[in-house]
Amino acid sequence: MIKIIVVSLIMCVIEFLAIVSISPLAKPSLVLRFLPADIREKAKDHPEPSAIKQFIAHVILVLFLISFAGGIIYLGIDGLRAGYGFWRLWLRFLICLYIIKAFDILVQDQWLVMTSGFYKKLLPETKDCKGWKDRSWNNKNQIIRLIAFPFLCMLTSGIFMLFR
């Protein structure tokens, strides 16, 4: 269990660092997808960073995706080595994804987006938007993901069981 928590928290930190470093470098359309609707509307004409900054943002994004996949693969291979069956692997992946989702909701959505003012500094034209105070702006998407995770974990467990 400790291994799952440690790997999940490492993945959370990597995700957070990727988001914080990518946000000022990426196209506004990429960053705005993760913000409330009124903020997206107000910042749609925000100037794009240079091509080299966008390239760096994509490199960081690829490195994040590789590390995320690596964490899942590590947990799967480690589980198979420990003799886990389908349901124990499923539970392992589910715990990992729910830890990451809790981190996403509490730290990234509620603290980074709503409380810290990080994105207000990146998008100063949005400082008066009501979306910065709407803490329920992403509830529907989060609930959909929380419902989908058990099925995604079943699929992932099934794939690992094929390589047993």
Count up the domains in the chain and report the number: 1
Query: CA–CA separation, 4 vs 76, rounded Å?
Result: 10
Instruction: Give me the helices (H) in 37-114, please.
Output: 37-42, 51-81, 86-103
Helix (H, G, I), strand (E, B) or coil at 158: helix
Query: CA–CA separation, 27 vs 43, rounded Å?
Result: 11
CB 33 within 8 A of CB 61: no
58 pLDDT more than 90: yes
| Confidence band, pLDDT 50/70/90 cuts, at residue 164 | confident
Q: Which of 57-71, 83-97, 135-149 has the lowest mean pLDDT?
A: 135-149
What is the reported pLDDT for 54? Answer: 93
What is the reported pLDDT for 102? Answer: 94
143 pLDDT more than 90: yes
Question: Rounded to an integer, what is the distance from CA 68 to the centroid of its chain?
Answer: 9
Helix (H, G, I), strand (E, B) or coil at 2: helix
| Confidence band, pLDDT 50/70/90 cuts, at residue 115 | confident
Question: Rounded to an integer, what is the distance from CA 155 to the centroid of its chain?
Answer: 19
pLDDT tens-digit readout, 72-113:
999 999 999 999 999 999 999 999 999 999 999 999 888 988
What is the reported pLDDT for 126? Answer: 86
Supply the DSSP string of 48-67, one letter for each residue: PPPHHHHHHHHHHHHHHHHH
Domain that holds residue 53: 2-162
Which of these, 46, 16, 55, lies nearest to 28 by C-alpha position? 46
What is the reported pLDDT for 34? Answer: 83
Computed over every residue of the chain, the mean pLDDT equals 91
3-state helix, strand and coil shares in percent for the chain, rounded to the nearest 5: 80, 0, 20
Angle, CA 60 vertex, CA 79 and CA 6 arms, to 5°: 30
